[in-house]
Structure 1
């Protein structure tokens, strides 16, 4: 690819967190045009438009971040958002109301987890030692050249008890990978633990949103782009991309030096040039997904939860967010149900009834909810399967098209951090190619 002598003109297609990250990274270095088909930026991590049904705010899914989300924190710094305004940072606290309970100790990693587990509640001493031994064995596996296997297979090889599986490993994998144990890649789980819990105490901290996600990323990012001369097109659906004779990319009748394609994989394949090889399209279309359901409930009474993030080993809801602990109305809560597709396609009132019943086991004094809102993302995350292979992007890169998204991260499952890192990386590769700079990737 011949370098362009002028300031590159780059289109970013999709204003989810990957697209916003790419656009923010390029702003000031390129003439950026951001295209978003929807009325709002933010993708699958934004505040719901319209009636909030009396809730303080409703996002289109409850997200839980951790201190190891360095890409997200650097993006927030770039666009002028302070962590303390956006999140409540709390030390790692594992609180299953009907099971394992521990909190990270005030010690460097990995001692913070080891001492926390030794003081855990609702485990026998021998079970605590066994869990620590299994964690050490997992670290050894991560450092080994052994092939990837499913988390379930590893648990069987280690002869892990049903109690430890249900109280720790299953909630961990479901929450981090949103993939069943039988299919969840152990290498991906290790990557999450290595960069988070195992690397530093601060990396294992919870970052619980105190504001709607639009206020944390989408709105400040759009303001940052406007300040840096980028053009933003909302409600602008993009047609299939095409390469012009000089190699540039045609986007909705305009020519660009390159395009970052930051949309979901099932939309990306439909936007690729008509001559895209079948193998590339097949790789995008072959990606499989799992659902996540969020249930918001509002009561007349205060919801008293024992921890800001309270879980259930047995129940439909896996985690409840204590909104009162975040400085939000104390009569509201949000419940997260990972892998909700395994339960089935329930009606909203059925989800709400199940979650209300779960909450009543923790707060038996509660009456019927005054309001409920259910949001199910049927394709919330790409499955983090064993030895998963990413689509080969070389053909697209040669045509100055740079896909980005959480599903393309080489090490992480589909998380907001993966989306941000993918967007930043795609922006760097795109800009370097346009300017003839050799990439160190």
Structure 2
């Protein structure tokens, strides 16, 4: 028998190292050709590494959470024949971003940190019914013995947390893919089959506690930590907060939804905010830019690619609404909804999560009075949206109930002065408080 060392493949785009987020085999197991061995994470996407040969696993080249250089040994397999050999595995890039947990996670041994994906500190919370119901599809039989079920890392993670064997589940997704709705259906049929929750560790008030829990920061959470730390370290943030009366724009939004009920995409406030941002950028292009501080070059973009900070089970993602300047309200609404659903389901692609020129972040009803959002490096501005509150406001000497909301916007003070930042926010405010301006270039 011979030994084959399978190396981490060159995934492209200048990536020098990857994070190991899941092992799907263990030493002593027999693997088939093309069987997935591990999931690794690049700066944005999770990649499945399949085996180029059949054989028996002899050793694993790292632990979950560890950063491994491209070209380093990933796994060693015993194969037919004599001698020792090395080969780089081919890879299949999965659309998901959430790291898949290993069946038996091990503590991370983390070397130097890799570059991180774009992220922002403000969050767009998932709606209560974030998982879409299963659509009509051909049901595929459960995986046969020895076959690896097809599922995104987000689905695998949830199944692992619930103690569900994916090989038991019929698949309703395209090409036999198991989706979140399949897990929901299985749980509905087996209400008592979930993994028992861990015992509560809380103690009565007045009781001394000495317990500790070490939580490795890996996967998407590690990337968020790196990215926000780098942004705060390199960018002198300047935050400007302004109050906006959104009573009229909210009334317009309700009227438009009633007028086009079921015929066009449902409008939230977000597409209207995007439209106001696009108009403000036309007058203040310095806010729609990316700054390469190492080269000392500020690139102002004509295209408005808006990052939409979105909270997912795996952590904060920033899918990108491309060419917002060319979209109407309903096109923006439909695309925002699609991107958010893809990010939350773990289906967003690398292209959908990169290339933003300015970001919007919102905590919705949890948005508070004001916030200080962290800029999505290398952008130079981020628009933070706080919650809407009905308050009494004086208008023409009369006290009136008005829907009020704050915009909390951060700017890179190296390239945007305070006056320019204020003028940009005031331009957004003017468009939102006089919504007819949203339809005038």
> Shorter-normalised TM-score: what interval?
under 0.3
- From the two aligned structures, give the one with the greater helix fraction: 1
Q: Which has the higher contact order (CA 8 A, sep 6+)?
A: 1
TM-score (norm: length of structure 2) = 0.20
- In terms of Rg, which structure is larger? 2
- From the two aligned structures, give the one with the greater strand fraction: 2
TM-score (norm: length of structure 1) = 0.20
